[in-house]
Amino acid sequence: MKGKLILEDGTIFRGQIFGGSNQTATGEVVFNTGMTGYQEILTDSSYCRQIVTLTYPLIGNYGTAKIFDQSTKSYVGGLVIGELCDNGSNWQMEKSLIDYLSIYKIPCLFDVDTRAVTKKIRSAGTMKGIIVSEYTSQATIDEMMNLPIKRDVVYEVTTSDTYTIGSEDDDAPFVVAMDFGVKQNILDSLLRLGCKLTVVPASTPASDILEMNPDGIFLSNGPGDPKDVPDIIDEVEKLIGKKPMFGICLGHQLIALALGADTYKLKFGHRGANQPVKNIKTGRVYISSQNHGYAVDERSLRKLPLEVTYTSVNDGTIEGLRHKKLPIYSVQYHPEASPGPDDNLYLFDEFIQMMKK
């Protein structure tokens, strides 16, 4: 079926809507430059309600397998791709991408000039968009465009119940992970280092976390504007200085806000598996995987007990922070995603050593 992506400024990109998925979508339109990892993107909670454009031209060529899921379901609003491969081939493949899109009812527009979509977003910035069939009435289009993009989406993707996994050894590092949409690979990275993990909902009070007496507290990735969750920021502030703390992506931003810094929206964000970040002290550049639309404002760090540890080579934005006195540090990128492939896993080791000290 013929379909189209319509941006809020009126720009239209035409293609085909995959018939086995939902045929309409509304959300912020973003792009990801990764050459692989489409299943991880589809199940990364940080993309909740966004319409994701994949810049790599052929998508679906290695199929899908459950082991690559990063959450229990897909939260993306829609998918925009160039060529949709219907005959994937890989020794781990369990389902084709077409079957996967059908099961999760993910709206997918293909045969699209994704280079043109990306260039538009890069020049104009991320904006609202909708996916509809070519024959959708203008009244329906106007109605969809007038619907506000939902905020507070952290509460959509967080766990509903507290659960514990990992080592049963009494001497194992005990970590409470605040789930704002945590990726499975992050939990796996901590489990591989022998941690016992208690994963708690995003709305868990600081007093409940401290009552568990963990060795450390982990703040996960997640979707949306960090300023949309002031109640969570208040609870994180109550945890400052109580236990060693490590944050990734949204967790990084929440730590910064809890300590008095500010955040702002990037023009089109950082989303891809080839983002270079520079270690300020050593000058070494690491290749990182990233997915975020907001960043910490460096000007807001003046007079705060925070030092910048990593910056983006591409645009100079902050990619890492460390408290000058307390055992707290965070990174904006995803060390568990292994774009290096193992360049950034040392950050989890540092968390273990911090807890031991």
DSSP output for 90-135 = -TT--B-HHHHHHHHT--EEES--HHHHHHHHHHH--EEEEEEETT
pLDDT band at 342 (very low <50, low <70, confident <90, very high): confident
Looking at the structure, give the CATH architecture of the domain made up of residues 154-356: 3-Layer(aba) Sandwich (3.40)
Chain segment 158-216, per-residue pLDDT in tens: 999 999 999 999 899 999 999 999 999 999 999 999 999 999 999 999 999 999 999 99
Please work out, in degrees rounded to the nearest 5, the angle formed at the alpha carbon of residue 24 by the alpha carbons of 6 and 71. Answer: 110
Looking at the structure, give the CATH architecture of the domain made up of residues 2-145: 3-Layer(bba) Sandwich (3.50)
For the chain, the domains span: 2-145, 154-356
Give the whole-angstrom CA distance, residue 199 versus residue 72: 15
Residues with catalytic annotation? 249, 334, 336
Q: Work out the mean pLDDT of the chain and round it to a whole number.
A: 95
> Do 154-356 and 2-145 fall under one CATH topology?
no
Give the whole-angstrom CA distance, residue 316 versus residue 310: 9
Say if residue 66's pLDDT is above 70.
Answer: yes
Give the whole-angstrom CA distance, residue 176 versus residue 114: 40
Q: Is 250 helix (H, G, I), strand (E, B) or coil?
A: helix
Say if residue 327's pLDDT is above 90.
Answer: yes
pTM of the model: 0.96
Angle, helices 250-258 vs 230-239, to 10°: value is: 70
Chain segment 5-63, per-residue pLDDT in tens: 999 999 999 999 986 666 799 999 999 999 999 999 999 999 999 999 999 999 999 99
